[in-house]
Amino acid sequence: MVANSVQKESQLEQLQEMTTVVVDSGDFEVMKEFHPQDATTNPSLILKAIQKKEYAHLLEKAVAETKAVSMTGQERSEHIVNYLLVLFGVEILKIVPGRVSTEVDAHLSFDVEGSVQKAHELIKLYEQKGVDRASVLIKLASTWEGVQAAKILQKSTINCNMTLLFSFPQAVICAEAGVRLISPFVGRIYDWYKKNTGKEYVGDEDPGVESVHKIYNYYKKFDYDTQVMGASFRNKGQILSLAGCDFLTISPELLAELKASKDTVEQKLSVAKAKAEKIEKVTYDEKAFRYEMNEDAMATEKLAEGIRKFAADEKELEKLILQKL
């Protein structure tokens, strides 16, 4: 008698056993296909989504349902963008069992009070739609001001996801501020080093991967509650090199690659390994943080570039809305 063969799990299924997988998309059908725990959005993803005919109705709905709002011009278009982001978030939460990340306007990246106000506006819109704030992560840029805003918001039980994170000092001040989650951008770090050195980086030697390893080990060594979510991946190897990370947010294309492969996935990160590391605790006040960021050309350039790109896509959303008005 021949024994029944056991169907080997896909790499995606293996990864999901050691890491919470999040989909990096505004596409609902993608979420239904890959069954992620959480979902992340940003202005770039929403701008891309609403240009597809199956999502255009959400823009129409955002404009129609805010007609009674007594605002004009720029203020009104900004409000409709907020409303649109929340409409996407509400639909996403019908699909994913966990949380959705919604981003504060990148133009407020250096404005503590403005960021706090905008976050409260977004949470109010979610709560008006019957969504508990525990299901929402407010995304803020990991500037000094963004982290100070997150510190204030966390005290109001508004959980934050710090985005555009490229350096260890950024991660340290986020943890000290008690933010819920950080999103270190693996692929953009890799892009910078590849462009500036001409070298191809693979596996654990990838500088983006190394950055997340260092941050994860530091957080677990010193028992920070802040969760680490690797983001912005360029290839499957980067993802597999971070197996075991708290969360990984992955594009639909790379999720498909992981789903198609049955190669073995090895756990790279764990609390036990982190505890065994010899690491010194550090802290940064504002002066030290700004100096360390200035010394890191990659982090400085990629942070500035990321803010500009998100701000530009936010403006594009506003232009589409003004056309509708």
Question: Mind listing the pLDDT tens digit for each residue in 57-74?
Answer: 888 898 888 887 777 777
322 pLDDT more than 90: no
Residue 5 has what pLDDT?
43
Q: What is the mean pLDDT of the chain?
A: 93
**Given the residues 139, 151, 236, 268, the one annotated as active site:** 139
Buried/exposed code over 247-278 (b: 16+ C-beta within 10 A; e: otherwise)? bbbbbbebbebbeeeeeebeebbbeebbeeee
pLDDT tens digits, 15-29: 999 999 999 888 898
Residue 3 has what pLDDT?
44
End-to-end CA distance of the chain: 72
109 pLDDT more than 60: yes
**HSE on the CB side for 109, CA within 13 Å?**
19
Answer for the pair 215, 235: CB distance below 8 angstroms, yes or no: no
Question: Architecture of domain 14-324 in CATH?
Answer: Alpha-Beta Barrel (3.20)
Whole-structure pTM value:
0.93
291 pLDDT more than 50: yes
Helices (H), the chain: 11-16, 28-34, 43-50, 56-65, 73-93, 112-128, 144-155, 168-177, 186-197, 207-221, 236-240, 252-260, 271-276, 286-295, 297-324
Residue 4 has what pLDDT?
44
Which helix (H) or strand (E) is 264 found in, with range? none
Give the pair of three-digit tokens for residue 204: 């654990």
Contacts of 236 (CB under 8 A, 6+ apart): 11, 254, 257, 258, 261
208 pLDDT more than 60: yes
Left if phi > 0, otherwise alpha if psi is -120 to 50, otherwise beta: which for 2?
beta
Residue 281 has what pLDDT?
97
Compute the average pLDDT of residues 255-271.
Answer: 97
Residue 1 has what pLDDT?
40
Residue 213 has what pLDDT?
98
Compute the average pLDDT of residues 283-301.
Answer: 98
pLDDT tens digits, 209-259: 999 999 999 999 999 999 999 999 999 999 999 999 999 999 999 999 999
Q: How confident is the model at residue 174 (pLDDT cuts 50, 70, 90)?
A: very high
Q: Where are the domains of the chain?
A: 14-324
Q: What sign does the CA torsion over 43, 46, 50, 56 have?
A: negative
3-state secondary structure of 136: strand
Other CB atoms within 10 Å distance of the CB of residue 28: 19
As a whole number of angstroms, the distance between CA 160 and CA 48 comes to 24
Cα dist from 171 to 30, 110, 213, 216, 256, whole Å: 30, 17, 12, 9, 30
As a whole number of angstroms, the distance between CA 58 and CA 51 comes to 11
Residue 48 has what pLDDT?
86
Q: How confident is the model at residue 198 (pLDDT cuts 50, 70, 90)?
A: very high
Residue 7 has what pLDDT?
62
Answer for the pair 47, 313: CB distance below 8 angstroms, yes or no: yes
- Residue 248 φ/ψ, nearest 5 degrees: -135, 125
Answer for the pair 215, 228: CB distance below 8 angstroms, yes or no: yes
Residue 226 has what pLDDT?
98
Compute the average pLDDT of residues 155-178.
Answer: 98
Percent of the chain with pLDDT over 70: 98
More confident: 45 or 224? 224
Q: In the block, which residue shows the tokens 């990246």? A: 109
Tell me whether residue 139 is one of the annotated catalytic residues. Answer: yes
Q: In the block, which residue shows the tokens 């003004």? A: 322
